[in-house]
A and B are shown apart, each in its own frame.
Chain A
Amino acid sequence: CSQNLDLVPTNDITADMAFSTPEGYKSALAKVYGSFATTSGRGPGESDLGGIDAGTSDFLRLYWNAQELTTDEAICAWLGDPGIPDLNYMSWNSSHIMLRGLYTRSIYQITVANEFLRESTDEKLNQRGISGPEAQEIAHYRLEARFLRAFQYWVLMDLFGNPPFITETDGIGKVPPRQITRAELFGYVESELLDLETQLNDAHQNEYGRADKAAAWALLARMYLNAETYLGTGNGKYTEAITYATKVIDAGYALMENYRHLFLADNDQNNPEVILSINYDGIQTQNNGGTTFLINSSVHSSMGPASFGIPNGGWGGNRSRSTLPLAFDDHSGATDTRAMFMGDQLDIEDPSLFTQGLAVAKFRNVTSSGENGRSVNGVFCSTDFPLFRLAEQYLIYAEAVLRGGNGGSTAQAIAYINRLRERAYGNTSGNVTSISLDGILNERSRELYWEAFRRTDLIRYGRFTSGDYLWPFKGGVANGAGVESYRTLFPIPAADLIANPNLTQNTGY
């Protein structure tokens, strides 16, 4: 009789069925990528993660909040939402719901990548009768899964420092993974990327949305630039940063002619600048996070949501702190077109009022020709988010040169900076003749603001926590105040500390 108790679901499938065909592998690869683009495979109302609101459990939304709301670039009005005030005011603790969500999202994507690697070994492909060119193609998928895993380990290293460490050799079960130190993790990510940079598809040779060699170079360059943050003062790897930034720069990428077009709904088309993006679609990749969050939370009903391609959206949450527009000599946009601000009140008295502080109109769900981006309801957005783009590599090159790296020149660095400024000004009127480290930091803010770089940059410059550099409401004080230096790392979430006895909390928490 007990045989009668073996029931199987109607629509779910076993791993062997999921991976029975090459197409199945591609769908599994779509999940490895899709893990940072969606909250779940069951629509925007569900989540792969537990313990957090589904719409908030998306990678970019959480990553962006952690990298931007904690800095001089952005502040959010939603003080009633748990977690928001703590980011605005730099007062998070180890039970912070969004930091826990981000940590979990990053490791989730790693876990899915590990599963893909377990299911795509030569042995498994043999068992399933997949061989020849199809098997070779799947071998490429494996490399990309490893790249995405390395990317998320870089995120964890940058934000949390000492995360748990799992690879495809750890199966699914309840055995708690070990903790890896930040320095050890640096070595792991570096060795993975160095291995991948020779094997991934050549730059421009992969499908849109999939990682290639340039993506590995770009991540290596970014990681080397921040090596002193990860490995300690004196352990800089600026020469390597120049080496890999140069590889990207020489790989045939070009700046998008119009800066604004980088952040529009059709930025997946004819985009020479972006190396790797997270892809969203307002119909087929719906998400309440991602660029849907970025655009809707930056737009208020009084700003005309329809002109942002979200006629039914506009959640009025994130806008700039005065430090961001003031980083531009002229924040009207009339000279430096990268300044895309709206509103007339620069200063914030009450952080819960969206209309205080200039709104940021950088991301929009409209196409370069003015059409609305694809959207099922006028809220979900189709704008892709650039994870790596050429401009960053110029800035890495310049900064690494200034920080003493070999293999580059100041003249070249100035030339790269001026390429960005010429695009921004439309002519050479904004060009510089000399550069400084402070100037690079400001240039990064002007070029890369709201693209989730700022926290990492401020930490590299030693300005994230200290009282020497202040911004409005830093530390919860209207004029700004320094916070504890341990806040350069986020805490390991308390929930995982409880669940995983191998983990030790980061200093200070």
Chain B
Amino acid sequence: QGGAITGRVVDEQGQPLLGASVQVKELRRTASTDEDGRFALPDIANGTYTVAVTYVGYLPAEKRVPVSGAEQVADFELKPDEQFLSEVVVIGYGTQQRRDLTGSVATVSSREFQSGTITTPEQLIAGKVAGVQITSSGGRPGAGSTIRVRAGASLNASNDPLIVVDGVPLAVGEVPGVSNPLSLINPNDIETFTVLKDANATAIYGSRASNGVILITTKKGTGSRTAINFSTQHALATVDRKVDVLSADQIRDYVNANGSEAQKQLLGSANTDWQNEIYRPAYTTDNNLSIAGRAGDLPYRVSAGFLNQDGVLMSDRLQRTSAAISASPMLFNNTLKVDINLKGSHTRSRFANQDGIGASIQFDPTQPVRTDNAFGGYWEWLQYDADNDRHVPNPNAPRNPVGLIELKDDQGDAYRSFGNIQLDYALPFVEGLHANLNLGYDVSRGKGGVFIPAIAAQRFSTAGEVTRYQTDIFNRVGEFYLNYTRQLAGINGHINATAGYGYYDNKSRINNYNRTSEDGTVLSEPAFPFDEPQNRLISYYGRLIYTHADRYILSGTIRTDGSSRFASENRWGVFPSVGLTWRIRDEPFLRDNRVFSDLKLRLSYGVTGQQDGIANYSYLPNYVSSANESMYQFGDTFYYMHTPLAYDRDIRWESTATYNAGIDYGFLDGRIHGSVDVYFKKTKDLLSVIPIPVGTNFSNLLLTNVGNMENSGVEWSINTTPVRGEAFTWDVGFNFTFNTNKVTNLTNVDDPNYLIEQGGITGSTGNHIQAHVVNYAPYSFRVHKQVYDQNGRPLEGVYADLNGDGTINDDDRYFYKSPLPRYLLGFTSQLEYRQFTLTTVLRANIGNYVYDNVSSNFGSRYNVLDPNGPINNAPVDFLNTGFVQKQYTSDYYIHNASFLKMDNLSLSYRIDNLLRGSGSSLTVSANVQNVFTVTKYKGVDPEISNGIDNQFYPRPRTFTLGLNLGF
């Protein structure tokens, strides 16, 4: 005698789950659910059984079911598996479950973002992803960052990753009027970052993918309940580290001991700390309101934000007003899914004159800030102009740092809007076939100007300066693809195929204006009133993912791109990739394994391209008419010069071949999980500025495709939950990156000594401290080897004769270290105890070196006792060297700048059910950013992306109090 067990498996929302596996454990009988989520297990002998349900992406569920002759109903409501395996990951033109990924893909969602005062989106994930280095350019509000995914793949073209927001590739390049175009995106609207790293993941983006792809998904309205969220943050930023310079008394002592009588006469009696004069504590407020919900059948989210951030450098300010709307209705019986995203923002910036930073280090501390003079009352180094019987600023002296800042009014407004409408239609008649149309835009306008009054010493030469600018940028995106998925029951397979077309048009209009003095006298006049550079990309792409027996996944992509930047014969590039994934965990031999919750092997190979950074029309043999200040006189008439431009008809794509092997692993029910990736990238046809035989073109250097570079590395990430309890949970994440790269070819003629100078330094004309050279990392420092005396003091001008020819000259410079870190480490900890959450983020770079241009430029006797007149200050390093003359090329100034930083320490307290039953919550948080830095480097900050420390805008320490109210 027996009965039956039937039932229905649904998800949290009551939606049926198709294909869930239902097992009667004791009998080893299984069934799967139908489209309605129903299952039936007939002919069950009487007894009590354990019925277990499993479904990918959901937590397994079990029930004890007594069977006594009749049909027994057992319904299951599965809860989503919080584990990230089931997470749906955005990939190019579609989504995939994490467990099925074939490429190297990392995601960071809003819960894991860096907290505190984050003005610009990329900073949300600093230190969070193995293989991704994000280095802000400094402490200016909204400062841009150098983003490097696997250290970049280019030398002369762009190394920036492609950034795609909700399917719209963002325009590349600067927007005038704002320090960083990404700061026009409100970080509070962002839900997830997905970083595509290997070629299998990126190659669907073809020619723009060599430097990795970052997909940003913004927050959407989802639930049925209306959720209102308001947050407000108030922050105070302070400068904690300044350049250590000599005090006023030290300068007085030095000048009195070493200076001439005339120089002693120049000393003042003040004690001015010029850095204190230009830096200030700066206040920031950031307020955001969002409403997400469903209006009828229309899920929506609207948000608005207002940011007002002062910079620690006097007068610096960024104001941002932003708004976002998203709506994602399902139409026609859920066959048409519509996604609409619109973002808009306006920033108003005042850019402090950063020349004040260098001047504040150099300016004589014995002089007062203010005095009575004709230059706005700022004390300046003057000289007598006998012809006009007046005192004028000494053109060879630094300018008063406070005057530099206060008398330069540099303001910009930037407007940016981007958005798209994406239509995904499940075609009738053919099951599993979707058509997807995505139309997007990204427009911005940047405008502004600079005003310097005639009284300002900094523009004394031109009686002030007035400039203005306006640029409009207009980018259009059109994409259409078909996606087809089908279960191939006969062969236990599944295919997911995509084929599409893309059209990308980037156009700007740059208006040119006169530069005038304060009274309107024209100083320079543009040759053309405007320019309209434009480039266009047309693409065809396809992807096939074949999954066999849920364990073997083969994925291939191909993209062909045509670019307007190249001549017709080089225009089209083909970028294929293939990836193979083996879900070892799902093999029968591991089915009962309790140790592994996940084990997956990924292998991939692919080719990607790169064209950003190449001028729009460099293959065309064109002439340009000259500027108004570049004319030539015949007789009494000035003629414009028709100038032929250097061009390379053969310029074409850079292409990067990437090999990647990775393992995704999980242990103990996912309490430990992570991945390891090993990669090797080989870039060929690298754009390199090479010397061409002089006389063969209209320059001696030409950007052309000759270089090769290799990049290899290891990435490891591990996320663990050491403690998981009702009241107390502790999550710890750690990531590690090792990267090494070297240039393997630079010219079309084989010469190991050929180098391309990089890294121009401040203080002299034409000095470079870095170079690209074969067999070294790009941007390796190229320096003389300093010789030291017995006491370890550097001997001025004494360098090792490395080539042994008896003389010391440029040929004795050698390659010593590079600014690129060898190892990147990131550490995240999150402790939750009841309503308290304590998080911290630490980052370390190891093996990065910095050239101390501040000390090399100012640390000499002839800087302090300047033969051109003024007395100047020097960094304390001067006391170590005592150099008389500047020794720019000494390796003495190359320093190990490895560091450990605590980016962030944050404590928050959450009160749920603030108003009973309303689902409201209040979170109060306190946060410190840039908590500490451990480094041997003595300059202001060891983290300098180009490795040349000069006039660095200090990254402030920021204290933030925040309040978040949700209901």
A10 interface residue (CB < 8 Å to B)? yes
Interface contact A285-B571, CB-CB below 8 Å: no
Chain B positions 551 through 579: 1 when the CB is less than 8 Å from some CB of chain A, otherwise 0:
00000000000111000100110000000
A305 interface residue (CB < 8 Å to B)? yes
Candidate in B572, B624, B641, B698 with the most chain A CB atoms within 10 angstroms? B641
CA A107 to CA B700, docked complex, whole Å: 9
Contact of B751 among A34, A301, A498 (CB under 8 A): A498
Chain B residues with CB below 8 A from A495, complex form: 691, 700, 754
Binds A, one of B51-59, B106-114, B526-534: B526-534
Binds B, one of A242-250, A336-344, A352-360: A352-360
Residue contacts A-B, CB under 8 angstroms, 13 given? A9-B617, A14-B621, A26-B634, A34-B631, A41-B627, A48-B698, A81-B766, A285-B631, A286-B629, A301-B868, A301-B869, A302-B383, A499-B693
Interface contact B809-A91, CB-CB below 8 Å: yes
With A56-B765, A352-B885 in contact, do A50 and B629 touch (Cβ < 8 Å)? Answer: no
Contact of B627 among A15, A42, A83, A377 (CB under 8 A): A42
With A48-B699, A112-B698, A306-B392 in contact, do A207 and B635 touch (Cβ < 8 Å)? Answer: yes
Q: Which residue of A lies closest to B749 (CB)?
A: A498
Chain A positions 19 through 35: 1 when the CB is less than 8 Å from some CB of chain B, otherwise 0:
10000101111110110
CA A30 to CA B388, docked complex, whole Å: 37
CA A95 to CA B638, docked complex, whole Å: 37
Q: Which residue of A lies closest to B635 (CB)?
A: A207
Interface contact B695-A498, CB-CB below 8 Å: no
Contact of A81 among B645, B690, B767 (CB under 8 A): B767
CA A478 to CA B701, docked complex, whole Å: 38
Interface contact A7-B616, CB-CB below 8 Å: yes
CA A14 to CA B642, docked complex, whole Å: 11
Q: Which residue of B lies closest to A370 (CB)?
A: B387
Chain B positions 740 through 766: 1 when the CB is less than 8 Å from some CB of chain A, otherwise 0:
000000010101011001000001111
Shortest beta-carbon distance, B703 to chain A, in Å?
Answer: 9
Q: Which residue of A lies closest to B633 (CB)?
A: A279
CA A6 to CA B564, docked complex, whole Å: 6
CA A509 to CA B633, docked complex, whole Å: 40
With A28-B642, A111-B697 in contact, do A81 and B386 touch (Cβ < 8 Å)? Answer: no
Chain B positions 691 through 728: 1 when the CB is less than 8 Å from some CB of chain A, otherwise 0:
11111111111000000000000000000000000000
A18 interface residue (CB < 8 Å to B)? yes
A490 interface residue (CB < 8 Å to B)? no
Chain A residues with CB below 8 A from B833, complex form: none
Interface contact B395-A352, CB-CB below 8 Å: no
For the side of the interface on B, what is the size category? 35 or more
Q: Which residue of B lies closest to A17 (CB)?
A: B623
With A80-B885, A112-B644 in contact, do A11 and B693 touch (Cβ < 8 Å)? Answer: no
Shortest beta-carbon distance, A468 to chain B, in Å?
Answer: 22
A426 interface residue (CB < 8 Å to B)? no
Interface contact A80-B888, CB-CB below 8 Å: yes
Chain A residues with CB below 8 A from B766, complex form: 52-53, 56, 81-83, 97
Chain B residues with CB below 8 A from A93, complex form: 809-811
Interface contact A172-B564, CB-CB below 8 Å: no
Per the 8 Å Cβ criterion, residues 611-646 of B in contact with A are 616-617, 620-636, 638-645
With A78-B765, A207-B635, A301-B394 in contact, do A172 and B627 touch (Cβ < 8 Å)? Answer: no
A487 interface residue (CB < 8 Å to B)? no
Interface contact A40-B538, CB-CB below 8 Å: no
Q: Which residue of B lies closest to A111 (CB)?
A: B695
Per the 8 Å Cβ criterion, residues 282-327 of A in contact with B are 283-286, 300-302, 304-307, 311-316
Shortest beta-carbon distance, B22 to chain A, in Å?
Answer: 52
Contact of B867 among A95, A307, A355 (CB under 8 A): A355
If A49-B700, A177-B693, A306-B386 are given as contacts, then 5 extra A-B residue pairs at C-beta distance below 8 Å, sorted by A number, are A82-B767, A111-B698, A306-B388, A316-B867, A379-B395
Chain A residues with CB below 8 A from B638, complex form: 281, 284-285
Interface contact B888-A285, CB-CB below 8 Å: no
Interface contact A377-B695, CB-CB below 8 Å: no
Q: Which residue of B lies closest to A495 (CB)?
A: B691
- Count of residues in A whose CB is under 8 Å from the partner chain: 111
B residues with a Cβ closer than 8 A to A are 383-388, 392, 394-396, 460-462, 523-524, 527-528, 530-536, 538, 562-564, 568, 571-572, 616-617, 620-636, 638-645, 647, 689-701, 747, 749, 751, 753-754, 757, 763-768, 807, 809-811, 862, 867-869, 885-886, 888
Contact of A496 among B383, B625, B641, B694 (CB under 8 A): B694
Chain A residues with CB below 8 A from B749, complex form: 498-499, 501
CA A1 to CA B572, docked complex, whole Å: 12
Chain A positions 488 through 509: 1 when the CB is less than 8 Å from some CB of chain B, otherwise 0:
0000011110111110000000
Shortest beta-carbon distance, B801 to chain A, in Å?
Answer: 13
Contact of B564 among A5, A49, A302 (CB under 8 A): A5
Chain B residues with CB below 8 A from A7, complex form: 534-536, 564, 616-617
CA A376 to CA B394, docked complex, whole Å: 18
CA A374 to CA B766, docked complex, whole Å: 28
With A8-B617, A9-B617, A172-B697 in contact, do A311 and B644 touch (Cβ < 8 Å)? Answer: no
CA A466 to CA B763, docked complex, whole Å: 35
CA A41 to CA B631, docked complex, whole Å: 8
A480 interface residue (CB < 8 Å to B)? no
Shortest beta-carbon distance, A286 to chain B, in Å?
Answer: 4
A252 interface residue (CB < 8 Å to B)? no
Interface contact B867-A354, CB-CB below 8 Å: yes
CA A30 to CA B642, docked complex, whole Å: 7
With A9-B616, A38-B641 in contact, do A107 and B383 touch (Cβ < 8 Å)? Answer: no
With A2-B571, A279-B632, A301-B868 in contact, do A41 and B626 touch (Cβ < 8 Å)? Answer: yes
With A9-B622, A285-B630, A306-B386 in contact, do A51 and B701 touch (Cβ < 8 Å)? Answer: yes
Interface contact A42-B386, CB-CB below 8 Å: no
Shortest beta-carbon distance, A372 to chain B, in Å?
Answer: 9
A176 interface residue (CB < 8 Å to B)? yes
Interface contact A31-B765, CB-CB below 8 Å: no
Shortest beta-carbon distance, B736 to chain A, in Å?
Answer: 39
Candidate in A10, A30, A494 with the most chain B CB atoms within 10 angstroms? A30
Contact of B810 among A52, A82, A112, A301 (CB under 8 A): A82
A108 interface residue (CB < 8 Å to B)? yes
Shortest beta-carbon distance, A503 to chain B, in Å?
Answer: 8
Interface contact A496-B635, CB-CB below 8 Å: no
Interface contact A209-B634, CB-CB below 8 Å: yes
Interface contact B632-A38, CB-CB below 8 Å: yes
With A14-B622, A38-B630, A81-B767 in contact, do A2 and B862 touch (Cβ < 8 Å)? Answer: no
Interface contact A304-B626, CB-CB below 8 Å: no
Interface contact A268-B534, CB-CB below 8 Å: no
Interface contact A40-B696, CB-CB below 8 Å: no
CA A141 to CA B567, docked complex, whole Å: 33
Per the 8 Å Cβ criterion, residues 137-192 of A in contact with B are 164, 166, 170, 172-177
Chain B residues with CB below 8 A from A433, complex form: none
Chain A positions 36 through 80: 1 when the CB is less than 8 Å from some CB of chain B, otherwise 0:
011011111000111111011000000000000000000000111
Chain B residues with CB below 8 A from A238, complex form: none
Interface contact A11-B695, CB-CB below 8 Å: no
With A41-B641, A81-B766, A499-B693 in contact, do A13 and B624 touch (Cβ < 8 Å)? Answer: yes
